[in-house]
Structure 1
Amino acid sequence: MIRLVIPSLFEPHMLQVLDGTCKQQHELLQQGLKKADQQAWTGDSVYAWHYSVADELRYATPYMLQADSIPTNAQQYSLRADPVILEATHNGIVCRGNAILHLDISERSEIETLLNEHFSEQGLHFQLQSPSHGYVQSDKLTQATFKPLPEVLGQDISHYLPSGDDGRYWQQVLMEIQMLLHRADCNERRREVGEKTIDGLWLWGNQELPSTQPKPVAADNFYTNHKELAQIYNSQLSAKDIPDIDVLLGQQGTTEILIAQLEEACIQNDITTWQSQFSQIFTSYLQPALAAVASGKIKRLELVSEHVSYVLKPWHRWRFWL
């Protein structure tokens, strides 16, 4: 039995804008699932646990640091520091995320140097780990509440600024970052060629780890490219990379695969990446899996997304009334 777990596979606002090949592929997927048993899913896999502690898990900075192979220090306070576009609108200053920024390594290095020189006396150290995210580590513990970037996207940031005893300090840090970036050479170059500028860093994350213990993996074989989950379930992973479908079809017992790319694209509201990733997932896993059920190579296929489970078996093809 193979269980494919793909969060955000049927995300409504993504499906509304499908076009071209991607739209055709999603229609083929829906046609392939037409004869499947469909039910609300409350199964016992990692996916269920993942969503039962979703906010704690997704926003726990220690897990994020471990997933990026960055050493943690109990004496430091760590936060995500993600590049963002800030857009002035009639609704205020709206956060647009960073899906279209595509910071190259030289830009990230320039921003790191700029911010670290400015904030070094305050005990803050910035590191831009990738084009889409980075971290700031503070030598001082802090008493402040930070709003997660996924909740802020498309919203007026004035309602989501840091709060708590040290909230005003971190609001000042955000403002200084914006002023520094406005004058940064990398943004001057972007303006010259008409590209979107890096307008700020959004600071967020929970210092505390989730209190709930991870649910044991119920499958004989388990794979995921969800970085934080892979870190948590490291000892139970069958491999660090999801293998090709031919390898999965040859395995004995129950195989569970949790594919995370679509969820990550949804969090960023990145329609282009979502469509590109869906097309790749469809070609590499979904289409071959549906064909394997039809031929009898898979005796049971489960497809799970948005707490809905589709169960497809070879004999379902005889359901002519569907």
Structure 2
Amino acid sequence: MTSSALTLWVPNLLTPAHIAEAGGALEGKRFSALETLLAKADKLPKDKTHQISFSDNASYLFHQKSTLPVAPTTAIVDLESFDPSYFWLRVDPVHLIPDRDTLVLIPGEGLGLEDDEAKALVETFNKHFEQDRVELVLGSSLRWFIRILQPVDVQTHSLEAVSYQSIQDAMPEGNAATYWRQLMNEVQMLFFTHPVNEERRSKGLPEINGVWVWGEGQLRTEDIYARQDAVLAGDFAYLKGLAKLSQSNFMNVPDTYPTWQKLMVDNPSSEQMVVLDEAMSDMMQDEWLSLIEQLEENWFAPILSALQNGDIHSLLLDLGMSHRYYLTPNHLKKFWRWKKSIQKYTD
């Protein structure tokens, strides 16, 4: 098997918040392979936007010239009729909870929105805004899109940045912001009396009582760096779109690194990026510790072995901290870099 360059990204795994919350539960727990990889590696500072934005970090890690906008990058995955010449917006269904003088946004994931419910809401939206010539295109139950012939001056906040947060200071900005703010307010009233929400209320389910406009942008060929030699694995639509636009091979993530190695025998690639999303959602302390133990056995230990025997010639780790960690087989010879427990990594 050809020696490879591997990027392993586990968003939010070792954030300072996770480590602080675990507290004494980490005492006495050692993760030998992970500790070795972190100790021997060179620390590379991470831009603050990469610590917050999934799309910024994903584009950077996959060697794109700039961040590819979320709306068109996911629309190319969801829509057969995708046209890159348009300006695209994501308009995602959400649940808004009143909190004093503001609203807190609950993202659609986890709300149990069915396909037929999403279709009914989109149809109502399109009838209401027909005179504005604004039309929603249904990508999936949770990913809706608007395409516009010409770019509009609007700057938005990502859905991840406002999830479970107040939206008061995160509304759209720019010359076209007034229209999109009004649209979002109008949708709240439009959806409130919708039969979908009346039915959900009767069942005790959270309403789909708003939308979040975000991810704006238009794809430009000059911004896309083709990587026919690379393979990208993950479970996010954005990653699949990133691979498609860069002409890379896209794969689902296996359970273990040894399984990944076997897949690479049939799909050889010297440039590999694997994104594990297990730590993206909120986790209880016991779940988080169990996850690290699983990753230690299934990923970190076999990756360390592959690095030792030369199957990996360079490794870049991004585990949700303020630094990335880079190492080659030669880094493992740096005996003066002593291992330390993961609670020490609160940078």
Identify whether the pair has TM-score above 0.5, normalized to the shorter chain: yes
RMSD: 4.3
User: Which of the residues 245, 248, 259 maps onto 2:260?
Assistant: 245
- 1:66 and 2:71 aligned: no
Answer yes or no: is the 8 Å Cα contact 2:226–2:245 preserved in 1.
no
- Give unmatched runs, 5+ long, in structure 2: 47-57, 340-347
2:15 aligns to what?
11
Aligned to 2:232: 223
**Matched residue, 2:198:** 188
Change (3 A) 1:52 1:293: closer
2:89 is the counterpart of 1:79: yes
Contact 1:62 1:209 in 2 (8 A): yes
The secondary structure found in structure 1 opposite 2:72 is: helix
8 Å CA contact 2:33–2:296 kept in 1: the answer is no
Contact preservation (8 Å) 1:87, 1:93 = yes
C-alpha distance in structure 1 between counterparts of 2:334 and 2:218, whole Å:
52
> How far 1:292 moved relative to its partner?
4.5
Listed one character per residue, the Cα deviations across residues 74-129 of structure 1 (whole Å, up to 9, x for unaligned) are 77543101111212113621223223212111211111122122122221211332
- Structure 1 38/161 Cα, relative in aligned 2: closer, same or farther at 3 Å? same
Counterpart contact for 2:308–2:332, Cα < 8 Å:
no
What TM-score, normalized by structure 2, do the two folds share?
0.69
Q: What number of residue pairs does the alignment pair up?
A: 305
Within a 5 Å distance, the mapping from 1:245-284 to structure 2 comes to 245-248=260-263, 250=265, 254-259=270-275, 261=277, 266=280, 270-271=281-282, 282=295
Q: Which residue of 2 aligns with 1:31?
A: 32
The 1:255/1:199 distance shift into structure 2, 3 A limit, reads same
- TM-score, normalising length: structure 1: 0.73
- Following superposition, the deviation at residue 308 of structure 1 comes to 1.9
Deviations 1:129-175 (A, max 9, x none): 22432112346764433333233334432322233333222222111
Change (3 A) 1:76 1:120: farther
The whole-number CA distance in structure 2 between the counterparts of 1:299 and 1:140 is 46
Q: Which residue of 2 aligns with 1:302?
A: 315
Query: Deviation string for 1:195-227 (max 9, x for gaps)?
Result: 22212110112223368644565x965233312
Does the 8 Å contact 2:71/2:216 carry over to 1? yes
SS of the equivalent of 1:156 reads: coil
Gaps of 5+ in 1: none
Given that 1:110 and 1:186 are in contact with CA atoms closer than 8 Å, whether structure 2 keeps it comes out as: yes
| Contact in 1 for aligned 2:90/2:146 (Cα 8 Å) | yes
